[in-house]
Amino acid sequence: MPQTTTAQHAGTRPDSRERGTGGVVPVLAFAGITVAVMQTLLVPVIKDLPTLLHTEPANATWVMTATLLAGAVSTPIMGRLGDLFGKRRMLLASLAVMVIGSLICGFTDDLVIMIVGRSLQGFAMGAIPLGIGIMRDELPRERLGSAMALMSSSIGVGGGLALPAAALVAQNADWHALFFGAAGLGVLSMLLTVFFVPESSVRAPGRFDWLGALGLSAGLVALLLPITKGSDWGWGSSTTLGLFGLAVAILLLWGVMELRSSAPLVDLRTSARREVLLTNLTSIMVGVAFYAISLVLPQLLQLPASTGYGLGQSMVVAGLCVAPLGLTMMFTAPLYARISAKHGPKVSLMLGMLIIGIGYGAGLGLMSAAWQTIIISVVVGAGIGLAYSSLPALIIGAVDPSETGAANGLNTLMRSIGTSVSSAVIGMVLAHTSVQSGGMAVPTMSGFRISFVIATGAVIGGLVLASFLPSQRASRTAAAKSPAGETRQHPTLVAGSGGFRGRVLDAEGMPVPRANITLIDRRGRQAGLTVADEDGRYTLLPPSDGDYVLAGSATGYAPHACPAVYPGGGRPVDVDLVLALSAPERRAVVPS
């Protein structure tokens, strides 16, 4: 007969998950920085690519476009694969593909082979949503906010640090060294992940939607190609307009197919929920604002002083002046955690966007000296750090734990679309306002200012969208239900037979829905994690037989733990966890 244990009311430490996870946050943040380095490493040599690859400028741009397209396609796919088969496993796969792509690029001067390598590098973009998903599964609630903020802002931190470093390498060594450096960072990130990041036991139910993945890939390529190449092809050309039309048709058909699928790649019903939809739309606006400064300031700093407005700085100095953008994003992570804990991620998002707008507004009059560009970078970086840190928290607060990877992958995709739109629009503005100087076209100060105005407009649009997000309390309530009012299917675990199972109940024997259940081994390390369904039922498979502690927690209840023994052999062990109302809640139900 299965062993049965009923837990009584007893105190316990706030959250046993905090043990054994000390290395998770820095290792995952380092993985994010590695991805950002991969994205940024060619920026210092972008104008020299046609010469380096012995091709025309229009062809050389495919080296950058290929990475963008591969990253956009792979991000939601890797997120879904992580939900199904293990986030750590897919994180390692993403980094491994990036390393292979970096090595391919490091040994070639051929355009086609370089494009293939850069496409493989783009697969690393999935590391950001996968890392956020691992943090949600592994970290105690009190550490999750600042950890996600650091992970989300790591893309800016890495870009800020990589720009001057890549410029220094490009000026003093063979440009292929940039790719070998990226490969080395990728290998180091993989080793750290293997040793310090545990695999999550939370799994999404269902199977991988291969047809949906192909449809989304085709739709995204058809959408992003004309956005990134429209200035070369002509915005009114048949190729550009035809691809936009094809993208609309493919994505509409893909949406219909996903709605009918029992295990969709992207749960469109969840994505259509107000808090998710508005967060994703706001992410596009934040992406536009983030990329604008990266396009304008390096050019302004490197233009010769003879133009009358150029600052005449070297490539390395220009990178150092823009580096505070990423560094400030990193330092805002603890500030975000405090603001979000007190007022919710909606407030921190809106505050961040307001600061971005102030930075761009001030930038309209601060472009006459290198030190002024540093001020712009610091202010805009602080705002972007707050905004980027808020986005995954808003998504996580609105989706089931089993959907974390896919949902954050889609959100990361929205940011990428924003940066693509920013690149296309601002590139077009700078091209149309440029003048001839020394036999070549150079951007004008009016073009730079128009670009800042466009970024400010995107920020205003994002503020309007964010203002319609539900409050923190409403988000938590909505997260427990689907749009139709039906409860969501609870995540399953990698389990055959046996393991711990049971219900989470309150003192009156009523189920406690959506409670967190953590399995702790005899060394105090987390050995498993799951979330109870709406009836309080859970299933959790230990990695081996032995002595464990089962800890339960839920909003409004005091956390509680009890010892349990798993004998192995495939036999289930029933353990019911009884949670007492926390002190404020008990006082609330006493009649006056």
| Residue found under tokens 């128009």 | 450
Q: Tell me the β-bridge partners of 553.
A: 516
Residues 417 and 539 occupy one common structural domain: no
Residues 121 and 163 occupy one common structural domain: yes
Instruction: Kindly state the percentage of the chain with pLDDT values over 70.
Output: 86
At 500 the three-state DSSP class reads strand
Query: pLDDT-based confidence at 21, cuts 50/70/90?
Result: low
Phi first, then psi: what are they for 236, rounded to 5°? -100, 10
Residues 454 and 353 occupy one common structural domain: yes
Is pLDDT above 70 for 227?
yes
Is position 485 within any domain?
Answer: no
Residues 213 and 348 occupy one common structural domain: no
Of 72, 126, 123, which Cα lies nearest the Cα of 101?
Answer: 123
Residues 270 and 252 occupy one common structural domain: no
DSSP state, residue 360: H
Is position 62 within any domain?
Answer: yes
Distance, CA of 267 to CA of 343 (rounded, Å): 29
| End residue of a domain, out of 478, 507, 535 | 478
CB 330 within 8 A of CB 36: no
Is pLDDT above 50 for 528?
yes
Least confident interval from 17-26, 261-270, 345-354: 17-26
Is position 490 within any domain?
Answer: no
Query: pLDDT-based confidence at 22, cuts 50/70/90?
Result: low
Residues 253 and 337 occupy one common structural domain: no
The pTM of the whole model exceeds 0.85: no
Instruction: Give Rg (Cα) of the chain.
Output: 25
Residues 196 and 223 occupy one common structural domain: no
Q: Which residues span the domain enclosing 217?
A: 209-262
Q: How many domains, in total, are found in the chain?
A: 3
Distance, CA of 40 to CA of 67 (rounded, Å): 11
Least confident interval from 83-92, 488-497, 517-526: 488-497
Of 161, 162, 87, which Cα lies nearest the Cα of 127?
Answer: 87
CATH number at residue 532: 2.60.40.1120
One DSSP character per residue, 84-108 reads: HH-HHHHHHHHHHHHHHHHHHHHT-
Residues 200 and 228 occupy one common structural domain: no
At 549 the three-state DSSP class reads strand
Residues 52 and 159 occupy one common structural domain: yes
| End residue of a domain, out of 193, 228, 262 | 262
Residues 542 and 564 occupy one common structural domain: yes
Residues 216 and 193 occupy one common structural domain: no
Instruction: Kindly state the percentage of the chain with pLDDT values over 90.
Output: 21
Is position 159 within any domain?
Answer: yes
Is position 7 within any domain?
Answer: no
| End residue of a domain, out of 245, 262, 279 | 262
| Structure tokens, 152 | 């989300």
Most confident listed range (33-37, 55-59, 483-487): 33-37
CATH number at residue 288: 1.20.1250.20
Residue type (1 letter), 72: A
Q: What is the mean pLDDT of residues 276-294?
A: 88
Distance, CA of 50 to CA of 512 (rounded, Å): 63
CB 210 within 8 A of CB 81: no
Residues 302 and 222 occupy one common structural domain: no
Is pLDDT above 50 for 3?
no
Is position 26 within any domain?
Answer: yes
Is position 487 within any domain?
Answer: no
Helix (H), strand (E) at residue 572: strand 572-579
Is position 11 within any domain?
Answer: no
pLDDT in tens, 475-520: 444 444 434 344 344 333 333 346 888 888 887 788 888 888 888 8
The helix-helix angle for 62-85 and 24-40 (nearest 10°) equals 160
Is pLDDT above 70 for 537?
yes
